[in-house]
């Protein structure tokens, strides 16, 4: 039977599929902190506390209908009260932020991620270090997000 840490980690990873703020709020602590790595990618967002993380989900849902994470492996460390999750992720851009200048395949983004989750005594996630797929994030995801934001701004100006 999986540990409570693994069950909580599964909920955390699963909420990205729809940016489920209710589930996210249930599994993260009030003193939550998230940062992105590696630093060389110069992440365009974060770090986040609990409030900022919940707000970020709302912002992302304006561009994505979801960011489906599929866990490849969970590693539970009872001794350190941590779980490491290795995932693949697929960004699903909302149709209203896409344009005809790119094919559906070009709007398709997939990457790999590693989440280091640290838990508090109550079993909630208090810290996340998210390792991004550096190459594909910089080369493909960031330009797609920039394009989607531009398309959304153009539509709002009409």
Tens digit of each residue's pLDDT (9 = 90 or more) over 2-59? 899 999 999 999 999 999 999 999 999 999 999 999 888 777 677 999 999 999 998 9
| Cα separation, 40 vs 59, whole angstroms | 24
The rounded percent of the chain whose pLDDT value lies above 70 is 99
Confidence of residue 152 (pLDDT cuts 50, 70, 90): very high
The answer to whether residues 147 and 118 touch, using CB atoms and an 8 Å cutoff, is no
Query: Whole-model pTM?
Result: 0.92
- Collapsing DSSP to helix, strand or coil, 5 comes out as helix
Residue 89 confidence (pLDDT) above 80: yes
Q: What is the share, in percent, of the chain residues with pLDDT greater than 90? A: 83
- Quote the radius of gyration of the chain (alpha carbons, Å): 16
Which among 94, 90, 95, 79 has a CA at the least distance from the CA of 133? 90
Going from the C-alpha of 12 to that of each of 8, 28, 69, the distances in angstroms are 6, 8, 10
Q: What is the mean pLDDT of residues 64-74?
A: 97
End-to-end CA distance of the chain: 54
Q: What is the mean pLDDT of residues 97-103?
A: 95
In total, how many domains does the chain have?
1
Which of 131, 135, 142, 137 has its CA nearest to residue 38? 131
Tell me the pLDDT band of 158, cut-offs 50, 70 and 90.
confident
Cβ atoms of residues 131 and 46 within 8 Å: no
Q: For residues 27 and 122, is the Cβ–Cβ distance under 8 A?
A: no
Select the more confidently predicted residue: 95 or 135: 95
Residue 66, φ and ψ in degrees, nearest 5: 175, 170
Place of tokens 């919940």: 54
Domain range for residue 34? 4-157
Q: What is the CATH number of the domain that holds 115?
A: 3.10.450.50
Give me the pLDDT at residue 122, please: 97
Instruction: Give the pLDDT confidence score for residue 45 in this predicted structure.
Output: 77
């Amino acid at each position: 039977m999986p540990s409570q840490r693994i069950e909580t980690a599964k909920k955390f990873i699963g909420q990205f599929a729809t940016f489920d703020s209710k589930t996210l709020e249930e599994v993260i602590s009030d003193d939550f902190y998230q940062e992105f790595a590696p630093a060389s990618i110069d992440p365009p967002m974060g770090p986040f506390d609990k409030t900022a993380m919940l707000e970020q989900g709302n912002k992302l849902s304006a561009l994505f209908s979801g960011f489906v994470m599929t866990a490849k492996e969970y590693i539970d460390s009872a001794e350190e009260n941590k779980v490491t999750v290795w995932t693949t992720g697929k960004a699903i851009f909302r149709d209203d932020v896409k344009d005809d200048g790119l094919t559906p395949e070009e709007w398709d983004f997939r990457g790999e991620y590693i989440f280091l989750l640290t838990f508090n005594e109550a079993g909630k996630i208090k810290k996340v270090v998210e390792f991004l797929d550096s190459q594909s994030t910089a080369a493909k995801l960031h330009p797609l997000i920039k394009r989607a934001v531009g398309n959304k701004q153009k539509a709002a100006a009409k």
